[in-house]
């Protein structure tokens, strides 16, 4: 049995794959990323926190839109990859800080916007992280959450969590939109505009990115093969295991 804590699992899973996340086509582009860039452009001189920055794509988009960005992540390897890629892109307004989403080493009201994309499903305590995001945000600030979400129907939710955890032991939960709204309200935010997306996961690259063990990959394929028709149709499971995910972008403002 592993003696690693959850943070250690996250660092183990993502540190070794930092370059893969910088170059990942799924993470490097998308209508959600375009929306984030457009929002930042409406806030001249903005100071942004990219919370759980991963491969840095939100940081790059925000910096290109004119923001001064702090890219924040648990993994030192990820942060080094972000720094290197920012240099290659000529983006000189990105700094990096290391730490957990639940304990932010920043003063109150330090940022105009807090942005996070495809990270929160790895956080151990999302309500605590949202409370911290609210603390470090200016009263008129903007929070943008973009993440994979679980369908509201338990049958579909259970399948998604099962394949996610088999693929990646650092997975915690893909939350339902209803759960996100409750957590945001509890943390002191007013959830606003929401946009839904359905990114396609190419099975081979999805597995390779996480170095999923063969036995786990076989279990995922077995779950897909035995899935009821409602699951197979919702996720549009293909013959090679590729499928569609549900993701959402939620804009929120402090109350």
Q: Which stretches of the chain score pLDDT less than 70?
A: 1-4, 6-29
Residue 15: its pLDDT value, please? Answer: 46
Residue 182: its pLDDT value, please? Answer: 98
CATH of residue 44: 3.40.50.150
Per the CB < 8 A criterion, the answer to whether 142 and 132 are in contact is no
- Structural domain span for residue 178: 6-150+170-201+245-254
Residue 94 lies in a domain: yes
- H/E element holding 192? strand 189-197
Residue 13: its pLDDT value, please? Answer: 59
Per the CB < 8 A criterion, the answer to whether 247 and 197 are in contact is yes
Report the alpha-carbon distance of residue 193 to residue 183 in Å, rounded. Answer: 16
Residue 102 CB: number of other CB atoms within 10 A?
16
Q: Which residue is listed with tokens 């396609």?
A: 200
Residue 20 lies in a domain: yes
Residue 195 lies in a domain: yes
Residue 115 lies in a domain: yes
Domain count, the chain: 1
Per the CB < 8 A criterion, the answer to whether 93 and 69 are in contact is yes
β-pairing verdict for 137-148 and 247-254: antiparallel
Cα Rg of the chain, angstroms: 18
Residue 34: its pLDDT value, please? Answer: 94
Residue 218 lies in a domain: no
Residue 17 lies in a domain: yes
pLDDT one-digit tens code per residue, 53-63: 999 999 999 99
> Which residue from 60, 65, 57 is spatially nearest to 21, judged by alpha carbons?
57
Residue 44: its pLDDT value, please? Answer: 84
pLDDT one-digit tens code per residue, 149-168: 999 999 999 999 999 999 99
Residue 220 lies in a domain: no
Residue 231 lies in a domain: no
């Amino acid at each position: 049995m592993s003696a690693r804590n959850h943070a250690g699992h996250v660092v183990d899973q993502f540190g070794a794959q930092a370059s893969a996340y910088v170059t990942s086509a799924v993470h490097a582009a998308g209508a959600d990323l375009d929306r984030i860039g457009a929002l930042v452009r409406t806030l001249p001189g903005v100071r942004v926190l990219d919370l759980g920055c991963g491969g840095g794509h939100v940081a790059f988009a925000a910096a290109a839109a004119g923001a001064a960005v702090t890219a924040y992540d648990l993994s030192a390897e990820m942060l080094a990859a972000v720094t290197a890629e920012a240099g290659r892109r000529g983006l000189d307004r990105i700094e990096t800080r290391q730490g957990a989403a639940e304990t932010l080493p920043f003063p109150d009201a330090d940022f105009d916007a807090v942005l996070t994309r495809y990270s929160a499903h790895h956080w151990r305590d999302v309500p605590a992280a949202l409370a911290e995001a609210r603390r470090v945000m200016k009263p008129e600030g903007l929070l943008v959450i973009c993440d994979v979400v679980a369908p509201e129907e338990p049958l579909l939710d259970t399948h998604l969590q099962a394949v996610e955890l088999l693929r990646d032991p650092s997975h915690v939960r893909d939350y339902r939109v209803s759960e996100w709204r409750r957590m945001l309200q509890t943390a002191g935010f007013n959830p606003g505009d929401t946009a839904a997306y359905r990114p396609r996961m190419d099975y081979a690259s999805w597995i390779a990115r996480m170095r999923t063990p063969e036995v786990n990959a076989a279990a995922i394929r077995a779950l897909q093969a035995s899935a009821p028709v409602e699951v197979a149709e919702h996720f549009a499971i293909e013959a090679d295991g590729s499928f569609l995910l549900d993701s959402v972008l939620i804009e929120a403002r402090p109350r």
